[in-house]
Structure 1
Amino acid sequence: MTRLLVLLAVLLAAGAGRPASALTYGLTPVRIAEDTWVFVGGTDHFTRANGGNILNPGFIVTGDGVVVIQTGPSRRFGEEMRAAIRKVTAEPIRIVYVGNLHPDYFLGAQAFPDVPVAALPGTIDGIRNEGAAIAGNMYRLVGDWMRGTEPVTPSHAVRGSTVVIGTHRLRLIERHGHTAADLAILDETTGVLFAGGLVFSDRTPTTPHADIPAWLASLDALAGLEFTTLVPNHGRIRSGADAHAAIAETRDWLTWLDGTLRAAAAEGRDMAEMLDHPIPERFHRMNVLRAEYQRSVAHLWPAIERETLPRIR
């Protein structure tokens, strides 16, 4: 009985993990261009180990205030992000841009109650309608990291336009495909493209809100831009020719995924069979490959099957 009690105590201690007060993301901004910093996240799934820190949010010090791009997955993240920005500059934060309705883009917005939080109208509608459910799911996935986090709907709607803040000219690019509304931002002053959820780098794309044909069209639009550095939502930041390569790699994956599932549905194969379908070797360097592929099958198969199979009249 004594050994059993000791074992139970060890298991409980292991399950408890670190106390909430000890949790810290340890955010350190990386300078990627003039006046421009990024908090580089991981490429895994949301877990209790990483606290949801898998995104690349950034900020630009313009000379007339700071522009923040994405707010992270939790209130704690947003607060640490804001504190880290303060160590870089004394300029006030001028505006926060949220790229889409996925949790790591907007759930840190509570840390910016005194600042306009801007997003595309479709993102605002999505957060208003799904924000509570998205936050609840993050609580289940990462636990104590989320304490005190509540969804905040962006207060300012923006559309595709060009804005000048301080010495920086920012082109707001309105697209969709990864979600119903995807905001990318091109800093024409430095040539840095914050691609938002449209581009993944060395990480398998996620598809819970995806429209693949629209996504491919958005990638083509980004590929036609002139830029020198690309900040993807997840994964390695790319520069030079390699920056355009990231767009091509995301496009290659989506094209293969959509074509493979449509061909299989036309052949009468079922979803369970497709979960273990072979994945070409050229994609094997992407992180969380099989798991994200299987999630995408679950997300996309029902609609593809309905579109592909003949109707019985």
Structure 2
Amino acid sequence: MIRTSILCMTAATPLLANEDIADQYPQSVLYEAPVQVIKNVWSAIGATAPPTYENAGHNNNLSFIVTGDGVIVVNAGANYALSAAMHDEIRAVTDQPVKLVINENGQGHAMLGNNYWVEQGVDILAHVDAAAAFEDRAAQSYEGMVRYARENSEGTVAHGPTITFEGEYIIEMGDMRIEVLDLGPAHSPGDVSVWLPEQKMLIAGDAAFHERMPPIFGDTCTRCWLETWETAVEPLGALYVIPGHGHPTNMDVVRAGTHGYVSYLREKIGEHIEEGGDLAGAYYVDQSPYKHLDTFEELATRNAGVVYSEMEWE
């Protein structure tokens, strides 16, 4: 059965994810079945929780675009089983072949399913920095996935992209113009967003969050992330946004969840530093306005420590 969603409803009233909600699609290894976000653009929304056996690592969004002359997939998924399940869902929607897979970054849940698609003869596209990050961390990502995914890890072989790029990669396929863009530094090396200019649709990847707390890593430049948002994300003028995690929505919602959170945390850490506060105290800065976000318990204090380490040298 083809499932559809009405994007304007999620934009007006964002759905609140909950880490305790059970698997939404128990007949499949996917956490949720793909939904049609706008015409020709589908997304299987992952759990806004850490990867677990129950969600099989489907805790990010796996999207696909039906162009009229083939299908483009955004994110391979965290393992072979997820990629195969996603391919089954694509076949239920269209008989057009998958012609390209785009990895939105170098994290395991974007790339560890690559070898399934390579077996199908499909090229994998990623930013050169994402490819390097995955190569550096592939063994660690794979081992972590095996621990939580158990039998769902079977068949997975860490495989990087087959095509890399810098700046932008333009695809003209069927009736669609698809722009794969390096908009600037976001939360991890090689983050890219997929922009459909005619549809005003942004598959933002991990440049944008709203239901899940944005993770801030040791190599994240939060000042740069805000600059990317202000100088590159906002000027696109997107009407529709599929974030890296969480339900499709609009710019107002992801602006509040991403730029709003990062700027708020930087402001609180800046005040703490000006008052002579140390790293130990930084973990306790007030982040209660964002306590409703999933993964708050896992990420809030860690984010504060990372931002303190970044800002004390600015």
State the partner residue of 1:231: 242
The SS at the match of 2:259 is: helix
Give deviations 1:36-57, integer Å, cap 9, x for gaps.
1100111111222222211111
C-alpha deviation, 1:28, in angstroms: 1.7
- Check the 8 A contact 1:177/1:213 in 2, yes or no: no
State the partner residue of 2:257: 249
- Check the 8 A contact 2:31/2:46 in 1, yes or no: no
| Deviation larger for 85-94 or 269-278 | 269-278
1:179-258 to structure 2, matched below 5 A, reads: 179-208=188-217, 209-220=219-230, 221-238=232-249, 242-258=250-266
| Deviation larger for 191-200 or 213-222 | 213-222
Task: Judging by fraction of residues, say which structure has more helix.
Answer: 1
Give the Cα–Cα distance (whole angstroms) in 1 for the partners of residues 255 and 88 of structure 2: 32
The SS at the match of 1:235 is: coil
TM-score between the two structures when normalised by the length of structure 1: 0.83
1:297-312 to structure 2, matched below 5 A, reads: 297-305=304-312, 307=313
- Check the 8 A contact 2:28/2:85 in 1, yes or no: no
2:133 to 126, 129, 154: 126
C-alpha deviation, 1:137, in angstroms: 2.4
C-alpha deviation, 1:100, in angstroms: 0.5
Give the Cα–Cα distance (whole angstroms) in 2 for the partners of residues 297 and 148 of structure 1: 38
Give the Cα–Cα distance (whole angstroms) in 2 for the partners of residues 37 and 85 of structure 1: 9
The SS at the match of 1:63 is: coil
- Check the 8 A contact 2:210/2:253 in 1, yes or no: no
C-alpha deviation, 1:157, in angstroms: 1.1
State the partner residue of 1:47: 52
1:1-313 to structure 2, matched below 5 A, reads: 24-25=29-30, 27-113=32-118, 114-159=121-166, 160-174=168-182, 175-208=184-217, 209-220=219-230, 221-238=232-249, 242-281=250-289, 283-305=290-312, 307=313
TM-score between the two structures when normalised by the length of structure 2: 0.83
Higher relative contact order (CA 8 A, sep 6+): 2
C-alpha deviation, 1:298, in angstroms: 4.1
- Check the 8 A contact 2:185/2:224 in 1, yes or no: yes
- Check the 8 A contact 2:100/2:124 in 1, yes or no: yes
C-alpha deviation, 1:26, in angstroms: 6.0
C-alpha deviation, 1:27, in angstroms: 5.0
Q: CA 1:43–1:169 in 2, change beyond 3 Å: closer, same or farther? A: same
Q: Which runs of 5+ in 1 are unaligned?
A: 1-21, 309-313
Work out the percentage of aligned pairs sharing the same amino acid.
22
- Check the 8 A contact 2:269/2:285 in 1, yes or no: no
Q: Which runs of 5+ in 2 are unaligned?
A: 1-26
